[in-house]
A and B are shown apart, each in its own frame.
Chain A
Amino acid sequence: MNSNFDRTLSSDDVLRRRSTLLQRLHIDGPLLLLLLTLGAVGLFILWSAGGKHWGLLFKQATSFGIGLLAMTVIAQIEPRLMARWAPLAYGMGVLLLLAVEFFGYTAMGATRWINIPGVIRFQPSEFMKLLMPITIAWYLSGRSLPPSFKHLAIALALIGVPFVLILKQPDLGTAMLVLASGAFVLYIGGLRWWWIGGVIAAAVPTAVAMWYFVLHDYQKQRVLTFLDPESDPLGTGWNIIQSKAAIGSGGVFGKGWLFGTQSHLDFLPESHTDFIIAVLSEEFGMVGVCLLLLVYLLLIARGLVITVQAQTLFGKLLAGSITLTFFVYVFVNIGMVSGLLPVVGVPLPFISYGGTSLVTLMSGFGILMAIHTHRKWIAQV
């Protein structure tokens, strides 16, 4: 390969010489291609779901651009650097969440924002979605695997604090995603199967006991409505009844782009945000949904390949967690819209309207790219 021995080559030299533009930018080609595909599909669906609204489309496209930029910038950061700053960033994140708890800005019945009037308003829980896997990966990568009971306990505490703070806002969807991103690091890190089984085995009788001895009738009613939204057809159940009708009426091939009826007659609330998959299902049918799922699966496959190929343990844990958490988005969103799962506010990645989640997701993929492209060319026999 390197026939020129006139001077000593550093590994960086080797890299540079073989690199294309994408590689120099630390961008992973397959991932980029899939992300661009999803972004385009998202805008396409949004045009229909948002009622052919240029402003909406433009804002979403801008967010996608910002997301790409964030992804590119993050891809330049060495994963080692991320690990080094993880504890500090985590601490700051928790402080911000505490600030929300005490001085937070309240809108729509939830206190999620930090608002500095005239300057900025942001949602610290959004940062936690990325800080959480980085922190847990940093913590576990320094220990021997699989994690011992002590390390597991500390990791669980690290996950628990932000989880509870976000849950209290209340923001069940984000809290669950943060919990999942931390838990997936533990899982990738080889958390023993019988511990996982033990937690599940313990949760079931606890829940049953709570049901019979702790919860009041009205609390039980709330849980039941949450688990079975269709029992509350004037509230959340309304969305589910309508979204099921929208999905079901799409059939195999769908009614065609812009020809959905349910979503266009104000029947489907939130049709361009959390419930957008109903629009896609109605207009493109089962074929459309399966194609979308295929793109998601390819994205996840690429993420898992990056996980396995990562050179450092930190990289492996982090990449695995980000990839699996991404799947949680997809599964929970489609599951809830199609009436399989309770309604929690989780957007459909890249398709649902909303800038914040888009930028966070793209940043996550930026981390994946950083892990994959900052490689040390040693011992690769």
Chain B
Amino acid sequence: MPQPIQLKDHERDARLVRSRAVVGAIFVLLLTGVLVARMYFLQVIQYEHHSTLAENNRIHVQPLPPTRGLIYDRNGVIIADNRPSFSLTVSRERAGDWPQVLDSVVEVLGLGEEERALFEKRLRQGRRPFEPVPILFELSEEQIARIAVNQFRLPGVDVVAQLVRHYPQGEHFAHSVGYVGRINERELKQLDPVDYSGTHHIGKTGTEKFYEDLLHGQVGYEEVETNARGRVLRVLKHTDPVPGKDITLHLDLKLQEAAEAALAGRRGAIIALEPATGGVLAMVSQPSYNPNLFVTGIGFKEYAALRDSIDRPLYNRVLRGLYPPGSTIKPQVALAGLDAGVINAASRVYDPGFYQLPGNTHKYRNWNRSGDGWVSLDLALARSNDTYFYDLAIKLGIDRLHHYMSAFGLGQRVSLDLFEEASGLMPSREWKRVNRRQGWYPGETVITGIGQGYMLTTPLQLAQATALIASRGQWRRPRLLKDADGMTPEQLVARELLEADETPPNIVAKDPRYWDQVTHGMVEVVHGERGTARKIGLGSPYRIAGKSGTAQVVAIRQGERYDRNKVRERHRDHALFVAFAPADDPKIAVAVMVENGESGSGVAGPVAKQVLDAWLLDEQGRLKAEFALPQTAEVPREQ
């Protein structure tokens, strides 16, 4: 059947539009009625209520700051808590002529012009009308009394109790947990103004900064009615703040103390990792500083003293200290050689005391000038034979070296939550082309084999590269956080409280026995007859896999030339030692750096041993039951 042709029926369209316009008009009238009704409700029915509120601007919303989450070590020892402290606050609007009031405050407390300028600066940062802004912290009893006596001439000035961060462990965790400080103007711009409306402190470094979101919590508020002088008469509405999450770290106070004691006042860095989890058990950077100084604002002189000290206490040697790794990366280079098939456990190299590139007269010296003769992998590691590794580096070539060393985390940030970690440098052809505008020379490959040249690593990276040998290539990125409010990091990620992070791919050796061969070489360092660190292995109730190293200190600066004694001391080599233990079932991996300690095996080695002892041995000097293995376990040897 043919469809009837549809013609536009203008009359019908007009009727349709007209009816829709009429319905629209009815809706407009109805909704306008709703608005009028709303106005009637607010302006007539609730008139009394609102006009009283507005009359003296008597309704205020006061933020209730959340309590910052506490920080514990793995055994529940408090690292950071909050203590009540009295602060002086000023509300600009209630003070009226507030510069005048500030003058009075300065006079009453007997302060100077400098403090007044600081008060004024703090007061100008006030954000909300009628918000009391703290201008002075940690009032003494006397100051509180003086304010109370003169209260009549100090309108808008109040003494309030606040919770202020406190670090009972003092210097122990300054470099790992960090500290909080007053929110500065730059931070103020980036913060959520609502969530931080009652908060005056924010994490500045370390865990405090990294987990700021978890620790801070959510602001609460109180809607209050006040009299004209600002005194609260009645609370109209109250919502509790949500306190920040309590955080437990992998750190262990006892191990931390033992590690610091092992350094015995020398400058240096120690980091201990748990290979199975990546947990950071101890993190020492000596000298350290007292984080409590920074919480309510450190004085300029005190800060200058810390900043300008030649010992650099503010410098985080574990995360920011960059050192050539020296011989400590020989185990990783050895694994690269085995996996690439350029050496095997039995192959030997003759060491006359130096190495020469073919067709080149330059001699790359072994540290032992007289040479070690025929050297196999075991001996090369135990004796830290340079010639063997010069030769191995050339066999591998820089490209493969770069590939394997990068897989061990060198030249990149390895940790999950350590604040401001340096990435170090693992050189490659590409890097040199871009940064030095030069090609790569074979001689540079030679010295890269013993961790010299352009390579720069942090103690953290050395510990992680060692932990990777201990875990046979299983990547676990180092992290401080163990749990927050009982939730593991994985659960936190699942709840979107924490961002997920990528783990680098595991290192898979072509033959798993390569791991055993390298580990065996490292055990020989400590327990072998000719091992460089055999002294620390004597009488040890457990077996240690270790490696010593030295890092050269950069050239003397011209200005320091004349102070010979000091220059010499400060420019001795840094002593390095890395180790994990027990060798057949690793529970802990450490990296030790002793600044200007000169001897890796002689100075850094004993420090590492003390750290391992502190973790693995009980009070009677026996291996703790939890770490003990059946006595039959032996480090497997290659057949």
Contacts and interface: CB of A to CB of B under 8 A. Distances in A.
Interface of A: 144-146, 187-190, 216, 218, 232-235, 237-238, 241, 244-252, 261-262, 265-267, 281-282, 285-286, 289-290, 293, 296-297, 300-301, 304, 307-308, 313, 316-317, 320, 323-324, 327, 331, 334-335, 338-340
Contacts of A245: 50, 53-54, 59
A304 B194 contact: no
A218 B50 contact: no
Contact of B40 (A265, A286, A301): A286
B146 interface: no
Nearest first, the 6 A-B pairs at minimum CB distance are: A248-B50, A249-B54, A249-B51, A248-B42, A235-B194, A190-B16
Given A245-B54, A249-B51, A281-B39, A320 B10 contact: no
A301 B25 contact: yes
A248 B197 contact: no
5 contacts: A145-B16, A235-B194, A286-B43, A304-B25, A331-B35
B61 to A, nearest CB: 5
B17 A146 contact: no
Interface stretch (B26-34, B103-111, B592-600): B26-34
A316 B14 contact: yes
Given A188-B20, A308-B21, A286 B61 contact: no
Given A234-B197, A300-B28, A338 B38 contact: yes
Given A187-B20, A234-B63, A244-B50, A290 B194 contact: no
A152 B600 CA distance: 80
Interface string B40-69: 101110110111011101010101000000
Contacts of B530: none
Nearest to B130: A267
Given A262-B54, A320-B17, A187 B24 contact: yes
Contacts of B57: 261-262, 265, 267
Contact of A241 (B12, B28, B46, B61): B61
B39 A289 contact: yes
Contacts of A249: 47, 50-51, 53-55
B219 interface: yes
B32 A297 contact: yes
A297 B28 contact: yes
Given A286-B39, A301-B25, A218 B496 contact: yes
Contacts of A327: 28, 31
A296 B34 CA distance: 15
Contacts of B8: 144, 313
B32 A247 contact: no
B129 interface: yes
A188 B38 contact: no
B21 A188 contact: yes
B13 interface: yes
Interface residues of B, number: 46
B6 interface: yes
A285 B39 CA distance: 9
Tell which of B21, B51, B197 has the most Cβ of chain A within 10 Å.
Answer: B21
A234 B219 contact: yes
Contacts of A188: 17, 20-21, 24
Given A189-B17, A232-B194, 16 more contacts: A145-B12, A216-B496, A233-B61, A233-B221, A235-B194, A248-B46, A261-B57, A282-B54, A293-B35, A293-B36, A297-B28, A304-B25, A308-B17, A320-B17, A324-B28, A340-B35
Contacts of A189: 16-17, 20
A289 B40 CA distance: 10
B568 interface: no
Contact of A233 (B24, B25, B53, B223): B223
A316 B6 CA distance: 21
Nearest to B61: A233
B60 to A, nearest CB: 10
B18 interface: yes
Tell which of B47, B50, B53, B54 has the most Cβ of chain A within 10 Å.
Answer: B54
Contact of B129 (A145, A233, A265): A265
Contacts of A300: 25, 28
Given A144-B8, A234-B61, A244-B42, A313 B13 contact: yes
A6 B208 CA distance: 96
Contacts of A281: 39, 42-43
Contacts of A246: 54
A52 to B, nearest CB: 20
Tell which of A245, A282, A301, A304 has the most Cβ of chain B within 10 Å.
Answer: A245
Nearest to B192: A235
A212 B132 CA distance: 41
A244 B45 CA distance: 13
Contact of A338 (B17, B39, B51, B496): B39
A7 B219 CA distance: 83
Contacts of A290: 36, 39
Contacts of B28: 297, 300, 324, 327
A247 B219 CA distance: 28
A260 to B, nearest CB: 9
Nearest to B196: A234
Nearest to A190: B16
A235 B63 CA distance: 11
B20 A190 contact: yes
Contacts of A266: 129
B39 A247 contact: yes
Contacts of A334: 35, 38
B24 A338 contact: no
Contacts of A250: 43
Nearest to A335: B35
A251 to B, nearest CB: 5
A248 B43 contact: yes
Given A234-B61, A249-B53, A249-B54, A338 B42 contact: yes
Contact of B38 (A146, A265, A340): A340
Contacts of B223: 233, 241
Nearest to B10: A313
Contacts of B35: 289, 293, 331, 334-335, 338, 340
Interface string B144-158: 000000000000000
Given A144-B8, A146-B16, A335-B35, A307 B21 contact: yes
A237 B194 CA distance: 11
Nearest to B54: A249
Tell which of B6, B13, B44 has the most Cβ of chain A within 10 Å.
Answer: B13
A304 B21 contact: yes
B51 A251 contact: yes
A187 B25 CA distance: 13
A335 B39 CA distance: 10
A282 B57 CA distance: 14
A84 to B, nearest CB: 18
B616 to A, nearest CB: 43
A12 to B, nearest CB: 23
Contacts of A241: 59, 61, 223
Contact of B24 (A234, A235, A324, A340): A324
A340 B24 CA distance: 21
B21 A234 contact: no
B540 to A, nearest CB: 52
A286 B20 contact: no
B34 A340 contact: yes
Given A248-B46, A249-B53, A307 B17 contact: yes
A247 B50 contact: yes
B54 to A, nearest CB: 4
